[in-house]
Amino acid sequence: MYATTGGSPREKIGDVMFIDTAKIIIKAGDGGDGHVSFHREKYVAAGGPDGGDGGRGGDVIFLADDNISTLADFRYKRKYVAPKGEDGKQKRSTGKNAENLIVRVPRGTLVKDAETGRLLADVSGKDPVVVAQGGKGGWGNIHFATPTRQVPRFAKPGMPGEEFEVKLELKLLADVGLVGYPNVGKSTLVSVVSQAKPVIANYHFTTLTPVLGVVSMGEGHSFVMADIPGLIEGAGDGVGLGHEFLRHVERCRMLVHIVDVSGSEGREPKEDFRIINEELKKFDEELSKRPMIVAGNKCDLATDEQIQSFKSYVTQQGYEFYPIMAPINEGVDPLLKKILEMLSKLPPITKYEAEPAPIVEADKIDKAQVKITKQDNVYFVEAKWILKIMKSVNFDDYESLQYFQRVLINGGVIDALREAGIEEGDTVSIYDLEFDFVE
């Protein structure tokens, strides 16, 4: 039950597709319509209105699923629609609330409004996250009976559910991120210290997908290590798949920069170190300030002079250096102990807070199409833009009410009501808000 990509970055290993961004449309269920009916019973001449309310529409809920590691499943379906609430019934019976729609995504997925970039949810915890709320059920005609309107032959339609085009971004949840050039030994280190089994070969870009491994350091002590695919010069500017891979480093509590100190790939280790650090800084200034230690790999292929020269270079910049030979697990234990020590002093993995909907200035609202329907001196107002604004208005607060009044004026609602023939004292119904019209 998942939706789609639409130009998402993707890499393929064999028949495994890795996709870490996707765009989908989500639509919460509309509320059920209120019912129009009148009490009918033998020997009861005029039982009055008894139409029940509609049920609430289903929410669209996102849930982290650790059995899913990519957004690849979203290639096959683009739109997710929660069911509508049941319509109200006679005898004051309320329609059933609709079931919620559950969308399962990898843990660490950010859900953003595709149009504005506003963060709607960070699906990182165990609890389900409501991203689009279902509409409330419409009122049945029992709500519209008054001493002067004893036979209301109308009811309210259900409120529409929220609808968004959203962009999904997967940002892995890991304590430690391994960064460095391709083929420096990141995958080898992860395979040695955890149960993860990344594909390893002696050529560039063997690893095309981030790999997570859990490193166990005895009872009650473990951390998650992420093998981030090899970065290259220009990655911070999006060269290659730089941005797609760097995204997965953003949440890491600390970084381990792995460098081939032997220069076996024909590159200069010091220059490799400098370039990757610059790419981190280009992508995110804060990322470049993340706690980092340096692991010099392939020491068996390097001379003592090469190792000491590189060690002096990084320690002068304030970094601790650990020489290792990852394939044979040489020097790895001191590195892991230092990582565990640093993690014990660092804050937990970053979790992003959803951003509230922006409040639009009342005098900047463009007049939009407004639909007015009249029933027995009740004027029903419909406009999608009003519904969005109402979600940010506190109707118990005087200033907020004043703001909403300016919105109705600037948005052309009051003019539309006058054109429809409204008079002072008539009732205005805007979704689940009702008030008497006053000039």
- Please answer whether residues 261 and 298 qualify as being in contact, where contact means their C-beta atoms are separated by less than 8 angstroms: yes
Q: Residue 114, Cβ neighbours under 10 Å: how many?
A: 16
Sequence-distant (6+) residues with CB within 8 A of 410 are: 362, 363, 365, 367
Beta bridge partners of 169: 21, 110
Map out the domains of the chain with their CATH numbers.
Answer: 1-170 (2.70.210.12), 176-343 (3.40.50.300), 356-439 (3.30.300.350)
Q: Residue 122, Cβ neighbours under 10 Å: how many?
A: 21
Strand pairing class (163-170; 109-113) = antiparallel
What pLDDT, on the 0 to 100 scale, is given for residue 263?
Answer: 87
Residue 300 tokens read as 């068996």
What pLDDT, on the 0 to 100 scale, is given for residue 162?
Answer: 92
Residue with tokens 């209301």: 152
What sign for the dihedral angle of Cα 112, 113, 114, 119?
negative
170's enclosing H/E stretch is strand 163-170
pTM of the predicted model as reported, rounded to 2 decimal places: 0.74
The rounded Cα 254 to chain-centroid distance in angstroms is 23
Residue count of the chain: 439
Tens digit of pLDDT at every position of the chain (439 positions): 333 333 334 333 333 345 678 999 999 999 999 998 887 766 655 667 888 999 999 999 999 998 887 888 888 888 999 999 999 998 889 999 999 999 999 999 999 999 999 999 999 999 999 999 999 998 888 887 777 677 777 888 888 999 999 999 988 888 998 888 888 888 889 888 887 565 444 544 444 566 778 888 877 788 998 887 755 444 444 444 444 567 777 888 999 999 999 988 888 999 999 988 988 888 788 888 889 999 999 999 999 999 999 999 999 999 999 999 998 999 999 999 999 999 999 998 888 899 887 776 666 666 667 888 888 778 888 887 888 788 778 888 888 888 888 888 888 888 889 988 888 888 888 887 888 888 7
Distance CA 410, CA 427 (A): 20
